Amino acid sequence: MGSNPGNERCAIVVADLESSMIGLVVSDILTINANDIRPVPAIATAVGSRFARGVIAQGKSMTCFLDLSSIFTDEVVHATGGLDDSVPATRH
């Protein structure tokens, strides 16, 4: 994955999964209401829908609400060579 030069809306989101903590570089942060999350459309494939908790319609675009626990399972992390643990996570 290439480097991200970042911008004023770029941020690092730290997600605490059951087996590890991960940092995700995001280009934008949205504020939504729980009522705005709609079910994943039936047209989504079985594989794709298992990673999504829902979709959020915003004007003419849609955003997928991801289930990070489904994406970063122990099996996936192991199969991809593991998470980069060069910077140890600390818990407070």
Separation between Cα atoms, residue 79 and residue 91, nearest integer Å: 26
- Overall pTM surpassing 0.75 (yes/no): no
87 in any annotated domain: no
Instruction: Establish if 3 belongs to a structural domain.
Output: no
Q: Note the helical H segments in the chain.
A: 46-49, 68-71, 74-79
pLDDT over 80 at 88, yes or no: no
Q: Tell me whether residue 16 is in a domain.
A: yes
Per-residue pLDDT of 5-48, as tens digits, reads 667 768 888 888 777 788 888 887 888 899 999 988 877 666 66
Is 86 a member of any domain? no
Within-domain flag for 36 = yes
* Structural domain containing residue 41: 11-79
CATH number at residue 50: 2.30.30
Quote the number of domains for the chain: 1
